[in-house]
Amino acid sequence: MFASLLRLLFLVPCYLWVAPWTCTGLLVGLICQTKGVEYAMHRGTLGIFGPGVARLLRKVPIAGGAKAMTLGHCILAVDRESWRETFSHEWIHVRQYQWFGPFFVPAYFMESAWQWFRGRDPYRDNRFERQAYKWE
């Protein structure tokens, strides 16, 4: 009982802190709904995938597009298989969102810009991606 209450006291602020980006993920899911979307829950996150999301992820500016992308507690993926395949990587991004909250996306893009400015790869050399690839 006490452990459950303690867990709840930790989780509520955690979800609220990340809520702006989770809501953005939910909005993307709603927008993609007309093209076909499926949902799945896992480890406190919502997986959103299907043809509508796939169309969007193909436009992500990394080579060949992205298989998945995290927005708060929402993990957007091309399809169910990609969602399963990339979950451990995206889960690290969920943890990063939990640390940085609404500041995660600006911090991520500033880090990419910094790497690009230094002549490095803005995706592969981004410290958030390096951490995700290291711990996935």
Nearer to Zn ion by Cβ, of 7 and 58: the residue is 58
Listed in order, strand segments (DSSP E) in 43-132 are 45-49, 68-71, 74-77
Determine the Cα–Cα distance for residues 122 and 54; give it in Å rounded to an integer.
22
| Sign of the C-alpha dihedral computed for residues 109, 115, 119 and 123 taken in this order | negative
Nearer to Zn ion by Cβ, of 55 and 89: the residue is 89
Nearer to Zn ion by Cβ, of 87 and 129: the residue is 129
Scanning 10-18, 36-44, 110-118, 126-134 for contacts with Zn ion by CB under 5 A, the matching segment is: 126-134
Distance from CA of residue 122 to its chain's centroid? Answer: 17
28 binds Zn ion (CB under 5 A): no
76 binds Zn ion (CB under 5 A): no
Contact residues for Zn ion (CB under 5 A)? 129, 132
